[in-house]
Amino acid sequence: MTGAPPVKVLCITGWCRNGSTILGNILNEIPGVFHVGELHFLWKNAAGRGVNEQCGCGHKLVDCPFWSTILPIGRPAGTTPQAHADTVIRRQLGHTRTRHTWQILARGPHNEQVRAQAELMTRIYRAVAERSASPVIVDSSKMPGEAALLARMDGITPYYLHLVRDPRAVAQSWSQPKQYVYAMSAAKSTGYWTGFNLASHAINRRYPRRSLFLRYEDFIAEPAATIDTVLRWCEIDPASNPMTDRTVQLHANHTVTGNPDRFHTGVTVIRPTDDRWRSALPASARRTATALSWPLAQRYGYLGERG
């Protein structure tokens, strides 16, 4: 420990297509807040094995002025970037997956591999905070196993934002490939939706005072007020809220990956509704999403009389 103040990591959990990229990019506009995108994929994407090698700034990650200085951190001398990426990916897949969440919550870094991953991530977060001059990092990875490990990292203060979206809207979003993002069936998407949200719940139950639950639909209904709530919760001055009603001015960012909209800059308006799935999602896929997300979706208020 260097005696430096703790780094706050605002960790967005839940399942993909929940609006985490735009929420992170809005927060990224606040001085002292830095959205890293889905940091989980840094090594995989930089090694050219992920779905997208590009940083939000437009450079390849290996050429990005920010990430090119972070990538060598924790890489043993004499190890190639490819071999280091292999090691990190192997640890992620073998020890910090969604199914490992409960074990990590109960036991922390309980073996050598989890300990090594926690040490690497501690160094990475601290370096990101230092080099971006930002005491708050927003990580939209949404990997519950890694999120659970955050609370056991030296010098890191986690804030868990559990962000959920109607599983039928999520299934519709996954039904079509877009740019570098592949498609997924309603059954597969909703299976992940349930698993990731259950694990995110477990984290919130373990760390209730550091956790906030948010529905995507409530965020887009009142975006500026929602950002206010998020800022107060993680003890950031709400006066720094970059939104005016539904509008925010976005600048280039250094997101590792996320929704392809992350490359969008300029004046951005958050639309108030999200009901395209009602006409676009086939009835069979809708039934599948409803069946596989029950009873969680009902608890979140998605399967009421309008469903």
Give whichever of 132 and 293 is closer to Zn ion, judged by the CB atom. Answer: 132
Nearer to Zn ion, 57 or 198 (CB): 57
Residues touching Zn ion: how many (CB under 5 A)?
5
Provide, rounded to whole angstroms, the least separation between the CB of residue 46 and Zn ion. Answer: 11
Q: Which pairing describes strands 211-215 and 33-37: parallel, antiparallel, or unpaired?
A: unpaired
Evaluate whether 230 touches 161 at the Cβ level (below 8 Å). Answer: yes
Length of the chain: 307
Binding segment for Zn ion among 62-70, 84-92, 159-167, 209-217 (CB under 5 A)?
62-70
Token pair recorded at residue 21 = 């990229």
For residue 70 the two structure tokens come to 């972070």
Other C-beta atoms closer than 10 Å to the C-beta of 66 total 19
The distance of Cα 101 from the centroid of its chain, to the nearest Å, equals 16
Site for Zn ion in 248-267 (CB under 5 A): 254
Tell the smallest beta-carbon distance from residue 197 to Zn ion (Å).
30
Tell whether residue 64 is a contact of Zn ion (CB under 5 A).
yes
Q: Which is nearer to Zn ion, 57 or 127 (CB)?
A: 57
Minimal distance in Å, beta carbon 42 to Zn ion?
Answer: 11
Half-sphere exposure of 84 (CA within 13 A, CB side): 17
**According to CB under 5 A, which one of 32, 49, 52, 57 is a site residue for Zn ion?**
57
Provide the terminal-to-terminal Cα distance of the chain, rounded to the nearest Å: 51
Q: Which is nearer to Zn ion, 58 or 307 (CB)?
A: 58
- Sequence letter at residue 182: Y
- To Zn ion, the closest distance from the beta carbon of 63 in angstroms equals 9
Which spans of this chain sit near Zn ion (rule: CB under 5 A)? 55, 57, 64, 66, 254
